Amino acid sequence: MPTGNLSDVIVVGAGVVGAACAYYAAGAGLRVTVVDRGCVAGGTTGAGEGNLLVSDKEPGPELELALCSGRLWAELAGTLPPRIEYEPKGGLVVAPGAAGMSALRDFTARQRTAGVTAEETPAERLRDLEPHLAPGLAGGVHYPQDAQVMPALAAAHLLRAAGGRVRLRLGEEVTGLLAGPDGAMRGVRTRHGEIHAPYVVNAAGTWGGELARLAGVELPVLPRRGFVLVTEPLPRVVRHKVYAADYVADVASGSAALQTSAVVEGTPAGPVLIGASRERVGFDRTLSPRALWRLAAGATALFPVLAAVRAMRAYTGFRPYLPDHLPAIGPDPRVPGLLHACGHEGAGIGLAPATGLIVARCVTGAEPPLDIGPFAPDRFAPSACTAPD
């Protein structure tokens, strides 16, 4: 148990990414203090569906991160209590028409070369996988590597499993970062006092940009709003994570306009979750009838049986995204001792373990599990564009 206000690492943010950073850092023998102005899982983590997805990712650095993370989640599921509701249930991407199916086929061919398992499912076999699916779909692809976890419980149990090396300071907002005469990090200031450590990890999610600014560096994290509809409790009516092929295009889009594609999945607790709208509207939480309509229409088009089912609530979350839709992970070369672990957009739950492992390895001077070049936190700085290699 860390004593006093001295730790090896301070993690700012008690969401799932911060929790994973703390978990792997503690596992490497470090003393960690996690600071959050709210509660555990109080931000985007608490508003997420708990997607651990490879199916929606193109070959590239994010997919590599997702594959690594998927392996880590499977490991964690053996360590953390069953209450985190880890379900390796697989994803099913369906194409409404022939053109969509052909595009999906091309997409999966490229994914396979990157290590994704993707099994094409002809139209007539779709209902073997999902008996309530609407008739008339052109076909689909089954992704056995997709999984789901209950995000808030996953974050809470990662922190608890990290044990005595992790100290939690909740309800404390970080108001300043402390730097030594050489500019290197030496801790954080909160309204309750100072906490000292040679490393500070920015896992502040949507507020990651603000925290970076406290350190005097620019990290353009922006919120992208999403609504999720939650139905009344049901038996298992949807087995996989099921979504329409246009979801992938929406995820990769930079558009500010509302995009929706039905993403439908059951939960062990009973309710079916229906996502996923994306729009750039700042931090506006007002319910949007248009988004609700699109979500409901998309879900009932895939699963007509849901039309008579009642939605009990809807929740709003803000995905923290960076302009190139890749997270910022690793040491910030501009501020010695500052590391970033934010900007995961809608994939933070899935990408958390690999992110946490990278951060822990960077702090201890070990080799990261994969190439972190594409996630360099200073890649958006004006100087980064002009600097020679």
Partner 1 sequence: MARTPADLVGAQPGPPFEITFDGRSVTARPGQTVAAALWGAGIMAWRTTRDGGRPRGVFCGIGQCFDCLATVNGRPNRRACLVPARPGDAIVTQEGHGHDHLAV
Partner 2 sequence: MTTSPSELSDPSDPYDLAVVGAGPAGLAGAVAAAERGLRVVLLEAAAHTGGQYYRHPAPAARAARPEALHHGWPVYADLSRRLAGSGVRHCPGHHVWSVTKDAPDGPWSAHCLTGDDGCDERPVRVRARALLLATGAYERQLPFPGWTLPGVVGAGGAQAMLKSGLVLPGRRIVVAGSGPLLLAVASSLATAGAHVPAVIEAAGYLGYARHPRALVTNPWKAAEALVHGTALLRHRVRMVTRSAVTEVHGTGRVEAVTVARLDRDWRPVQGSGRRIACDVLAVGHGLVPQIELATALGCATRRTADGTAALVLDGLQETSVRGLWAAGETGGAGGVQLALAEGELAGISVAVRVRGKRGEGRRIRELRRRRDRLRAFADAMSAVHAPGPGWQRWLTDDTDVCRCEEVTAARIREAADELGARDVRTVKLLTRAGMGWCQGRMCGTAVACLAARGGTPEPPAERRPFAVPVPLSALTALGEPDDDVPR
Q: Is cis: bond before 276, omega within 30 of 0?
A: yes
Candidates 74, 184, 309, 370; binder of partner 2 (CB under 8 A) is 309
For position 235 contacting partner 1 by CB under 8 A, the verdict is: yes
When the beta carbons of 25 and 63 are compared against partner 2, the nearer one is 25
- How far apart, in whole angstroms, are the C-alpha atoms of residue 117 and residue 44? 29
Asked if 281 touches partner 2 (CB under 8 A), the answer is: no
- Produce one character per residue of 90-115: b if its CB has 16 or more CB atoms within 10 Å, e if not: bbbbbbbeeebbebbeebbeebeeee
Stretch of 104-112, 283-291, 325-333, 364-372 lying at the interface with partner 2 (CB under 8 A)? 283-291
DSSP letters, 84-141, are: G--B---EEEEESSHHHHHHHHHHHHHHHHTT---EEEEGGGHHHH-TTPPTT--EEE
Binding mask 131-170 for partner 2 (x = CB under 8 A): ---------------------xx--xx-xx-------x-x
Dihedral, 244, 248, 253, 259 alpha carbons, nearest 10: 20
Which CB atom, from 231 or from 355, has the smaller least distance to partner 1? 231
Q: Which does 130 bind (CB under 5 to 8 A by kind): partner 2, partner 1, none?
A: partner 1
Indicate whether 235 belongs to the interface with partner 2 (CB under 8 A). Answer: no
DSSP 288: -
Distances (CA, A) of 52 to 39, 57, 69, 283, 368: 23, 11, 8, 25, 21
Q: Which of 131, 183, 193, 254 binds partner 1 (CB under 8 A)?
A: 131
Choose from partner 1, partner 2, none: what does 286 bind? Cβ within 5-8 Å by kind.
partner 2
Q: Which residues 6+ apart lie within 8 Å of 222 measured at CB? A: 209, 280, 320, 321, 322
Q: Using the rule CB under 8 A, give the single segment among 129-137, 237-245, 314-322, 325-333 that binds partner 2.
A: 314-322
User: Contact between 232 and partner 1 (CB under 8 A)?
Assistant: yes
Chosen from partner 2, partner 1, none, partner binding at 42 (C-beta under 5 to 8 Å by type): partner 2
Count the neighbouring beta carbons within 10 Å of the beta carbon of residue 118.
22
Q: What is the smallest separation between the CB atom of 235 and partner 1, expressed in angstroms? A: 4
Q: How many CB atoms lie within 10 A of CB 374?
A: 16
Judged by the rule CB under 8 A, the positions of this chain that interact with partner 1 are 130-132, 232-239, 270, 305, 310
Judged by the rule CB under 8 A, the positions of this chain that interact with partner 2 are 14, 38-42, 46, 152-153, 156-157, 159-160, 168, 170-171, 229-233, 269, 271, 285-290, 292-293, 295-297, 299-300, 306-316
